[in-house]
């Protein structure tokens, strides 16, 4: 790894790139029509994450075509973006994970070193990063459309189609985290119809999420509500703070109450909390463990065996797609009493499980503490820049709150192994963490392509 970073540093000194802001300005000036096409195409693709996977795949392919059609200009933008700290750190993480994969040694190890398709997302978003408000609006529109579809499905289920699922596609609820953040923000700062629509959409999204059984996006949405209140507090007027103090608890209470009454995800959570309060009793500990493990969809077993496997390669990691093999090996080698204590039954026989359903544990398993440290550094450095930009761009509160909520939701899933979940988090991470020109910088350049009307929509 030091050799790789040294080579990259030498290249950067010999061939210093222009700043990302300068390259984006030139990209916009050179061909504003095609830049518009790409920006609206990316926004449409982000909206499609809430819909059919076939549509998402088609739009993803179309984005590649549009980017490659301006290959030289796109390459200059990507080269400039590559030298920003978030891109360098993520590239180092991918290289380290590839090294760990090769070191683990399997027949198809060279194929496994290639990152999944979702790691191409930053390359498609960066050329229109200056249109980040439009891209954010795409995510919001997709979430609003999903809420509308879920309402129609709920009506059909209660009338003529009892077996119809309310949810559209597995994983699409993650985009609702962005909608909840935007709706909550609108409810606090916007006026008139926008405030009313924002509050209704945020409430409906939380109610639907709570009524279903996917805990990750529900927890992420609850966290997004809190994050909007905390991050945006200093931008709120005294009157708005009164609205926040009343509106945020109301949204949270509505979501948890409806979820508990409908038998949704909160029912399991509340039961688990009640059961865990007696875990100190040694006579009840095995029973309580089994109950908690059942309420968490066997995740406690998955997490315990994964943590045990991490200890075998804490620095380098085991590489990609090694979880099943390594955990099976540990279970086979463990004494019978250890297998019973750690609940190996489900882990051993549920062969479709291929990861621990916890992003932190899975990153530690695949890439060790070095890989996890690189991603942590990416987040810390990116958030520092995002918080500095926040003074000029209060609407970015939505992005920060959504990013926080999605990161919390990632503790119940391995986002780098799931298509929609991973695409949602990576997209929001790019918009949040990668440096970009502010609205003031863009207007000083004489371009006026800052999508300011979206900020006005939120009365910011």
Q: Is the dihedral of CA 362, 363, 367, 372 positive or negative?
A: negative
Q: What is the pTM of this model?
A: 0.90
Model pLDDT, residue 299? 77
Cα three-residue angle 151-157-158, rounded to 5 degrees:
95
Mean pLDDT of the chain: 84
Query: Quick check: 139 pLDDT over 50?
Result: yes
pLDDT winner (highest mean) among 2-6, 15-19, 112-116, 265-269? 112-116
Model pLDDT, residue 338? 62
> HSE (CB half, 13 Å, CA atoms) of 125?
30
Q: How far is CA 144 from CA 148, 254, 442, in A?
A: 6, 19, 29
pLDDT winner (highest mean) among 39-48, 103-112, 339-348, 384-393? 39-48
Query: Quick check: 6 pLDDT over 60?
Result: no
pLDDT in tens, 154-200: 888 888 888 888 877 778 889 999 999 999 999 888 888 888 999 89
Mean pLDDT of 261-274: 66
Query: Quick check: 52 pLDDT over 90?
Result: no
Instruction: Give the list of residues 6+ apart from residue 420 with CB closer than 8 angstroms, or none.
Output: 49, 53, 56, 169, 170, 171, 172, 174, 175
Query: Quick check: 13 pLDDT over 50?
Result: no
pLDDT in tens, 75-97: 999 999 999 999 999 999 999 99
Least confident interval from 4-18, 84-98, 147-161, 410-424: 4-18
């Amino acid at each position: 790894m030091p050799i790789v970073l040294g080579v990259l540093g030498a290249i950067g000194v010999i061939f210093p790139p222009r700043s990302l802001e300068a390259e984006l300005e030139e990209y916009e000036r050179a061909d504003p029509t095609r830049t518009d096409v790409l920006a609206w195409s990316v926004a449409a693709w982000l909206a499609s994450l809430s819909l059919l996977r076939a549509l998402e795949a088609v739009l993803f392919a179309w984005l590649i075509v549009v980017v490659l059609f301006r290959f030289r200009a796109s390459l200059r933008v990507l080269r400039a973006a590559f030298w920003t700290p978030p891109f360098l750190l993520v590239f180092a993480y991918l290289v380290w994970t590839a090294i760990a994969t090769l070191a683990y040694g399997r027949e198809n190890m060279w194929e496994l070193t290639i990152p999944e398709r979702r790691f191409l997302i930053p390359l498609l978003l960066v050329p229109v990063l200056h249109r980040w408000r439009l891209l954010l609006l795409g995510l919001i529109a997709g979430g609003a459309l999903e809420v509308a579809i879920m309402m129609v499905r709920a009506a059909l289920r209660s009338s003529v189609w009892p077996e119809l699922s309310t949810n559209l596609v597995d994983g699409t609820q993650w985009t609702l985290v962005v909608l909840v953040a935007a709706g909550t923000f609108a409810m606090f700062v916007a006026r008139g119809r926008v405030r009313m629509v924002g509050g209704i959409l945020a409430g409906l999204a939380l109610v639907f999420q709570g009524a279903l059984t996917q805990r990750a996006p529900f927890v992420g949405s609850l966290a997004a509500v809190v994050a909007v209140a905390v991050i945006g507090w200093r931008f709120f007027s005294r009157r708005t703070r009164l609205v926040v103090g009343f509106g945020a608890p109301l949204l949270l209470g509505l979501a948890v109450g409806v979820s508990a009454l409908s038998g949704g995800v909160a029912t399991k959570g509340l039961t688990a909390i009640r059961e865990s309060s007696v875990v100190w009793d040694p006579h009840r500990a095995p029973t309580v463990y089994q109950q908690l493990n059942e309420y968490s969809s066997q995740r406690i077993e998955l997490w315990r065996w994964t943590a045990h496997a991490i200890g075998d390669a804490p620095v380098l990691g085991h590489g990609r797609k090694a979880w099943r093999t390594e955990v099976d090996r540990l279970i086979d080698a463990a004494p019978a009493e250890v297998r019973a204590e750690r609940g190996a039954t489900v882990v051993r026989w549920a062969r479709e499980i291929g990861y621990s359903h916890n992003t932190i544990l899975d990153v530690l398993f695949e890439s060790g503490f070095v890989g996890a440290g690189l991603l942590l550094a990416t987040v810390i450095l990116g958030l520092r820049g995002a918080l500095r930009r926040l003074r000029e761009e209060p609407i970015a509160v939505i992005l920060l709150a959504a990013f926080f909520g999605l990161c919390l939701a990632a503790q119940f899933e391995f986002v780098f192994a799931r298509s929609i979940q991973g695409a949602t988090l990576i997209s929001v991470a790019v918009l949040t963490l990668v440096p970009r020109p502010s609205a003031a910088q863009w207007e000083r350049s004489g371009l006026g392509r800052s999508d300011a009307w979206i900020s006005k929509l939120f009365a910011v």
